[in-house]
Amino acid sequence: MHGSSGTTKLTAQEFRSLRGAHWVLNGEELQISADRCGQSAQAMIETRDAVIIPLLDCENRCRWFLKVFVSETEQKQRRAEWLIAQELWRSMPELTAAPRQWIDTRDIGRPAGASFDFAGYLAAAVPGTTWCGFKSEIQESGFDISVSCRLHWVKQLLRATAMLERHGLVHGDLSENNIVIDRQTGQLTLIDFDGFVALHAPEDVRGLSVESGGTAGTDGYMPVDLERRQKAGEGEIIPYSDRRARDMLILELLCFDAGCCADPASTWDWKEIADRLPLKSLGDAARYFDDLGIIDVTETQRLSSSELAGSMKIGLQPAALNRFRTSVSNENIAGSRWFVLLRNMLWSLSVFHWILLGFAARSFIVDAEKPASVRSSTAAALAGWIMCLGVMTFGIWLTTRLAITSEFRSRFQLGSIVLHIAPYSIRTEVSPIGNAVVLTRLAVGTLLLAAAAVAS
């Protein structure tokens, strides 16, 4: 793994020199867009602290975006790596554009003709237009959008924000600029997760204040109290909720037409909003959105996305096991030969201990079911074998789920190994050899656990 020191203080001009360059990335032949800034949707985008590089496939379609930070990046890199480890993009279509991989040219090679190294995160380029751009198209063309289509967008937005909320994640900059809608399929997708806040993450990646190069959100969408603090010039502001942004976007998705102002819904005349709201289609949520104070209430007065989805009878996707994690990891670390070897060794040890634990569970069942006058019985033997196979199957499945992911999580595997070993110390029939085996296993498990804690 490389730090970020060799990739900082790069200028936008250096990146412009990459236009049209070919690059083999993850075995795929790609080309950096040759379009100049502002000329097309495939143009390189330059912001105050980052450059967004569109990567085109062989059919000249934008397939990926690589976001490279041009200012000091160490904390931003750690945050990006943590978010990548959560695999948000796998969880649901609405989160497909979340960061997928940390790319460092010192590990995978530079684009053709490049004379400098850089690093950034890779995210899928989803088809469609930002809601901000969509609103402009509606004003220019005046086309109508059906209520069913609008409700479809709202349901997707609620499913995505509910998924984030249930796992202690805040998008941090939910706004008209950071949702994309594909008119052909009706798919709504959240983009640009740089301002995320993770309530259960390590402190150095939990949030990024405005003073440290982060964002508090977008005017008209961020929480009302943060908006006031930002206008007062405070720098130590970190976003903590997406609820106002979600509500404003829902109002816009439901009500915006050619006669509306393109500014956020928080600036609209409430009477105009109330006349356009399809209250009959909102179910129990109609009462929530029919409240005159919905624009400026505090975050604690707003419903959670799960509650709001429930009131609209929107089914939510169940949380996936082992999907959202609190450890920071890096693809480059996980791909190291020694780390892979150690991970595979730990997986083998864990499987071995689950097998032993299965046989131990069988013997416990058989011993417990023995009648006083009979050493064994068919029922006890059958129950023992069922318990044995059940424990082994569950253990191997669980351990494999831990081992097959790209992140190095030996601490979890070794912690489970220690738990697997513990039952051997409470057997009733002991011997000097048996005691020696138990003590050896416990000693090895403890040493491996300590090694994993240091390594990870």
Q: Where are the domains of the chain?
A: 5-124, 129-311, 335-455
Mean pLDDT lowest for which of 23-32, 203-212, 442-451?
Answer: 442-451
CA dist., res. 324 & res. 91, Å (int): 10
Residue 20, sorted as left (phi over 0), alpha (psi -120 to 50) or beta, turns out to be left
Per-residue DSSP letter, 391: H
The pLDDT value recorded for residue 444 is 62
Residue 16 binned pLDDT confidence (cut-offs 50, 70, 90):
confident
Helix (H) or strand (E) holding 451: helix 432-455
CA distance 371 to 367: 9
pLDDT value of residue 369: 53
CA distances from 99 to 77, 125, 147, 180 (A): 12, 11, 32, 15
What would the mean pLDDT of 384-391 be, rounded to a whole number? Answer: 72
Position with higher pLDDT, 371 vs 105: 105
- Asked if residues 149 and 160 have their Cβ atoms less than 8 Å apart, the reply is no
| pLDDT beyond 70 at 377 | no
Residue 157: name the closest of 137, 123, 187, 197 by CA.
187
Give percent of the chain with pLDDT exceeding 70.
Answer: 65
pLDDT band per the 50, 70, 90 thresholds, residue 353: low
What's domain 129-311's superfamily in CATH?
Transferase(Phosphotransferase) domain 1 (1.10.510.10)
pLDDT at 131 over 90: yes
pLDDT at 304: 92
DSSP H helical segments within 74-174, as ranges? 74-85, 88-91, 105-108, 131-141, 147-166
In one-letter notation, the amino acid at residue 455 is A
Q: Are 13 and 44 in contact (CB under 8 A)?
A: no
Residue type, 18: L
Instruction: Give the CA-trace dihedral at 295, 299, 304, 307, to 10 degrees.
Output: -60
Between 329 and 385, the more confident residue is 385
Cβ-defined contacts of 447-451 (< 8 Å, 24+): 448/346, 448/349, 448/414, 448/417, 449/411, 449/414, 449/415, 449/417, 449/418
- What is the predicted pLDDT for the residue at 228? 92
Q: Is 239 helix (H, G, I), strand (E, B) or coil?
A: coil
Q: Under CATH, what is the fold of the domain 5-124? A: Phosphorylase Kinase; domain 1 (3.30.200)
Query: pLDDT tens across 165-201, in order?
Result: 988 899 999 999 999 999 999 999 999 999 999 988 8
Write down the pLDDT at residue 222. 93
Check: CB of residue 167 under 8 Å from CB of residue 199.
no
What's the distance, Cα to Cα, between the start and end of the chain in Å? 13
Alpha carbon 368 to chain centroid, angstroms: 47
Q: Match 């949520």 to its residue by tokens.
A: 285
Section 52-72 average pLDDT: 87
How is residue 26 written in tokens? 């993850």
The per-residue pLDDT for 6 is 45
Q: How confident is the model at residue 150 (pLDDT cuts 50, 70, 90)?
A: very high
Average pLDDT, the chain: 76
For residue 13, which amino acid is it? Q
Indicate if the pLDDT at residue 17 is higher than 80.
yes
- CA torsion angle for 188, 193, 196, 200 (degrees, to 10)? 80
| Token couple for 420 | 């697997």
Q: How confident is the model at residue 280 (pLDDT cuts 50, 70, 90)?
A: confident
Domains 5-124 and 129-311 share a fold: no
Per-residue model confidence as pLDDT tens digits over 195-247: 999 988 888 899 988 888 888 899 999 999 999 999 998 888 999 999 999 99
Eight-class DSSP state of 61:
-
Whether the Cβ atoms of residue 161 and residue 132 lie closer than 8 Å to each other: no
Q: From residue 375, how far is each of 115, 378, 380 by CA, in Å?
A: 78, 11, 10
At 390 the three-state DSSP class reads: helix
CA angle 390, 393, 395 (to 5 degrees): 105
Short-list 405, 196, 200, CA closest to 321 = 405
- For the ranges 10-14, 219-223, 329-333, the maximum mean pLDDT occurs at 219-223
Confidence of residue 336 (pLDDT cuts 50, 70, 90): very low
Higher pLDDT, 10 or 245: 245
The answer to whether the CB of 103 falls within 8 A of the CB of 4 is no
Rounded average pLDDT over 141-150: 89
**What number is the average pLDDT over the span 424-429?**
38
DSSP state of 317: P
Query: Taking residues 2-27, what's their average pLDDT?
Result: 72
Per-residue buried b or exposed e for 229-256, using 16+ beta carbons within 10 Å of the residue's own CB: bbeeeeeebbbbbbbbbbbbbbbbbbbb
> Is it the case that residue 423 has pLDDT exceeding 60?
no
CA-closest candidate to residue 221, choices 249, 193, 191: 249
Contact (CB, 8 A) for 153 and 81: no
Per-residue pLDDT band at 329 (split at 50, 70, 90): very low
d(CA 158, CA 160): 5
386 sits in which H/E element: helix 378-403
Choose the weakest-confidence range: 26-30, 286-290, 295-299, 400-404.
Answer: 400-404
Q: Is the model's pLDDT at 24 over the cut of 80?
A: yes
Helix intervals (H) in 299-336: 305-311, 331-334
- What residues pair up with 103 in beta bridges, in sequence order? 120
pLDDT over threshold 80, residue 334:
no
- Per-residue pLDDT, 428: 36
- Per-residue pLDDT, 316: 78
Residue 456 has pLDDT above 80, yes or no: no
Q: By 3-state DSSP, what share of the chain in percent is helix, strand and coil, each rounded to 5?
A: 50, 10, 40
pLDDT tens digits, one per residue of 40-58: 455 677 777 788 899 999 8
Q: What is the rounded distance in angstroms from the CA atom of residue 250 to the CA atom of residue 242?
A: 12
Q: Give yes or no for residue 70 having a pLDDT over 90.
A: no
